[in-house]
Structure 1
Amino acid sequence: MNGQFDLITLIALVVAVAAIIKLRSVLGHRTDDDEQRVERLKTREREAAQRAAADSTSGDVIQMPRRDREPMPSAPAPEVTGPSTETRIRAYPVQDPAVTAGLLDIAHLDPSLDPDSFLAGAGRAYETIVSAFAEGNRRGLKDLLGKEVYDGFTTAIADREARGETIEQQFVGIKKAEIVEAEVKNGVASVAVRFVSELISSTIDKAGQVIAGDAQKIKDVTDIWTFSRDISTERARSDPNWRLVATQAPN
């Protein structure tokens, strides 16, 4: 009985050990499908980490090159294209050759001078100044006018206000603008421009009556304005603004 029991027990133990060994071999063995699943999981983890890193460097954060390892590449020298300053000036149509000579004298100190660009800026200044004067906007005039012209404009505004008069004005546009004089003296450039503009303008007294102009009629207005700018030194030329220094009626 004991011998039979021991034999059965031994057989059971052998079967159990064999089962355990088989189970361990199965659990410890990784199939091709398992390898592929693991690789896919690692790939997703790497992609998630890369997206998180990309998000952390986006938005308001800008990666700057490190001075010790990643020096900033030098910018390529700008290419000079288009006609030269002298060519542009000589191509600008004038009635008086002295205008071309004066523009060339200015360009000798300030090579950035371009007649067409200058006229575009002068046109914008003309509209701003005419509109600011009509509105009585002294602040809008201050940075665009030389001292003498500013004093004259503000005196006229003050006189108009003292009489209780206002100006109702609509700036229609500039029909024509041309450079009629140009020179440089003691490092100060001066360029005179003849403007032909279209305005709708009327002056109203304190009783509300129109005393000058016509609120329904477009009128052609011709002005000759002289703009000036110091170009004597590099520091002076760093200020690109021209100021109105003289006004006159056409002859």
Structure 2
Amino acid sequence: MESETLAAAQGIDFSMLGLFAHASLTVKLVIIILVLASFWSWSIIIQKHIAFKSARREAAQFDRAFWSGDPLDELYEEVGPEPRGRASRVFSAGMTEWRRSHRTDGALIPGAQARIDRAMDVAIAKGSDSLQSGLQVLATVGSTAPFVGLFGTVWGIMHSFIGIAQQQNTNLAVVAPGIAEALFATALGLVAAIPAVIFYNKLSSDSEQIVSGYEAFADEFSTILSRQLES
């Protein structure tokens, strides 16, 4: 009897495709959802890595141009009122409001400093939203994927017990497939959740660091303009 059970267990396909093929419909849906969530998370991770690298490079290039000693009006004419780079947009927003605050006679409209600061704050907020877009998906996957996998596990174990009750048999060949597919769902939930949580924390920290750089530049630029207002 033991040799027959062992032979039956050896005939079971415990590969990932085999487990998926023999899983119940509910567990198959759970597996598909978790696989799609994992691919979605990795696509966001890769896209954000590229976007953050580009944002750092653009900020460094603009910082060198800003502190090169060239007149700010020339730099503004070079980048334009709607530049592509986020750091350039902060500068452009401040310069645009600076120019709008001058009357035709050259005098400044009262409250120029406050308007310039608000304009740069809006540009920073838009840049921050752009950098952080998609990170909510990572947070959602990281927090829900383990529970989705657990649901698949519970359902698979329940399905396994139903099979035992129907066949009145508790040998390995009957129990193993259901337990294996149940644990497979749990494993996929963890595979989807762990990278999502790790990279969510990392990318959130990177985003805050980049935005802090924009805020520091805005403060420095505002200080420069305030000297012009007081002169």
Q: Which has the higher contact order (CA 8 A, sep 6+)?
A: 2
- Higher helix content, 1 or 2: 2
TM-score w.r.t. length of structure 2: 0.18
- Higher strand content, 1 or 2: 1
Instruction: Tell me which structure has the larger Cα radius of gyration.
Output: 1
